[in-house]
Chain A
Amino acid sequence: MWHEARRQERKIRGMLVDYRRRAERRRDFYEKIKADPTQFLQVHGRQCKIHLDPSIAAAADSASAMMPWQGQADNLIDRFDVRAHLDYIPPVKKEDDEELTFEERQINYERYRIIAQNSFLGINEEKFLKQLHLEEQFGYTESKSKKDQRSGGTSIGFNYEDNTAQTLGPDYHNDNDSEGNSDSDLDVDLSINVSKMDSTQAHEMNRHGRNFGMSSNDFYSFLTNDLEEAESFRLAKEEEHEKALFSGRKSRRERRAHREKRLANRVISPPSYAARTSPTYPSFRKSKSPSKSPSPENAGKITYITSFGDEEESPSTSKSNEKKSKSRRRNESSERVVYISKRRSYSKEKSHRRRKSRSRSKTRRRSYSRDRYRKSRSRSKGRSRYRRRHSSTSSSVSSSSSSSSSSPSKSRSSSPRYRKMSPPSTRSASPVKSKSRSPLKHESPPKVIPRYYGRKKSDQSSSELSDSSVKDVDMKVANSPVNSEKWSGYGNSGIVTKKTGQNLSIQERLKRKRQALLNKQFKADKIAEQLKTEREKQEQQHREDELREMAIKLRRRQREKRHAYDSNKSSSSSDSESSKSKSPPPTVENKPKSPSPHVTKRDDYRERESRRFERRDGSRERREHSRERRNSRSPRRCSEKRTVYRDRRERRREDYERDRDYRRDSYDRERDRDRREERSGRSLVDY
Chain B
Amino acid sequence: MFRNTFQAGFLSIFYSLGSKPLQLWSEHTGESGDIKKVVDEDIDSCVYEIVDSKNIAVTYISCPADPNKTLGLKLPFLTMIIKNVEGYFSFEIQILDNKNIVRRFRASNFQTATRVNPSICTMPLRLDAGWNLIQFNLSDLTKKSYGTNFTETLRVQIHANCRLRRIVFSEKFYSEDEFPADFRLYHPVTVATDA
Contacts and interface: CB of A to CB of B under 8 A. Distances in A.
B57 A77 contact: no
Given A49-B176, A50-B186, A92 B42 contact: no
Contacts of A48: 81, 130-133, 176, 184-185
Interface in B3-22: 5, 9-13, 15, 17-20
A111 interface: yes
Given A48-B176, A83-B24, A136-B126, A54 B113 contact: no
Interface in B70-107: 71, 73, 81-82, 84, 86-88, 90, 92, 104, 106-107
Contact of A49 (B9, B87, B184): B184
- A: interface residue count bin: 35 or more
A77 B132 contact: no
Interface string B22-44: 01101000000000000000110
A75 B14 CA distance: 14
A602 interface: no
Contacts of A39: 113-114
B125 A60 contact: no
A513 to B, nearest CB: 45
A60 B184 contact: yes
A211 B57 contact: yes
A107 B109 contact: no
Contact of B18 (A81, A86, A106): A81
Q: Most B CB atoms within 10 A — which of A42, A78, A79, A103?
A: A78
A96 to B, nearest CB: 11
Nearest to A53: B186
B142 to A, nearest CB: 11
Nearest to B116: A38
A266 to B, nearest CB: 29
Interface in A77-96: 77-83, 85-86, 89-90, 92, 95
B15 A41 contact: no
Given A43-B126, A48-B132, A115-B56, A56 B110 contact: no
B178 interface: no
Nearest to B127: A45
B19 A42 contact: no
A125 B112 CA distance: 15
B145 interface: yes
Contacts of B46: none
B88 A115 contact: yes
Contact of A57 (B123, B128, B144, B186): B186
A454 interface: no
B17 A80 contact: no
A162 B117 CA distance: 34
- B: interface residue count bin: 35 or more
A201 to B, nearest CB: 21
B132 A57 contact: no
Given A48-B133, A126-B86, A107 B20 contact: no
B131 A47 contact: yes
Given A47-B128, A47-B130, A86-B1, A56 B184 contact: yes
Nearest to B193: A54
B9 A45 contact: no
B172 interface: no
A44 B19 CA distance: 30
A60 B184 CA distance: 8
B113 A47 contact: no
Nearest to B89: A129
Contacts of A65: 181-182
Interface stretch (A185-193, A277-285, A606-614, A620-628): A185-193
A156 interface: no
Given A50-B187, A61-B189, A56 B57 contact: no
A246 to B, nearest CB: 29
Nearest to A77: B18
A76 interface: yes
A46 B133 contact: yes
B2 interface: yes
Q: Most A CB atoms within 10 A — which of B106, B108, B186?
A: B186
Given A82-B13, A92-B65, A108-B57, A57 B19 contact: no
B184 A125 contact: no
A56 B132 contact: no
B192 A110 contact: no
Interface string A110-146: 1110110011000001101100100110000000000
A481 interface: no
B26 A189 contact: no
B119 A107 contact: yes
B187 A52 contact: yes
A99 to B, nearest CB: 14
A42 B84 contact: no
B23 A51 contact: no
A270 interface: no
Contacts of A125: 53, 87-88
A362 B82 CA distance: 93
A192 to B, nearest CB: 15
Contact of B26 (A45, A92, A108, A211): A92
Nearest to A81: B12
A42 B192 contact: no
A86 B130 CA distance: 34
A112 B57 contact: yes
B121 interface: yes
Nearest to B28: A97
B131 A60 contact: no
B186 A45 contact: no
B11 to A, nearest CB: 5
A85 B2 contact: yes
Contact of B113 (A107, A188, A211): A188
B194 to A, nearest CB: 11
Interface string B161-195: 00000001000000010001110111111001101
Interface in A581-608: none
Contact of A38 (B43, B112, B114, B134): B114
Contact of B128 (A38, A45, A74, A81): A45
Given A45-B133, A107-B120, A188-B112, A95 B67 contact: yes
9 contacts: A41-B123, A46-B132, A56-B184, A78-B18, A82-B2, A82-B12, A82-B71, A115-B57, A129-B86
Interface of B: 1-2, 5, 9-13, 15, 17-20, 23-24, 26, 42-43, 53, 55-57, 65-67, 71, 73, 81-82, 84, 86-88, 90, 92, 104, 106-117, 119-136, 141, 144-145, 168, 176, 180-182, 184-189, 192-193, 195
Q: Across the A-B interface, give the 8 residue pairs with the lowest CB-CB distance, nearest first.
A: A45-B132, A59-B181, A43-B107, A48-B131, A60-B182, A45-B127, A47-B128, A51-B186
Given A53-B192, A132-B110, 5 more contacts: A40-B144, A52-B186, A76-B19, A80-B12, A129-B88
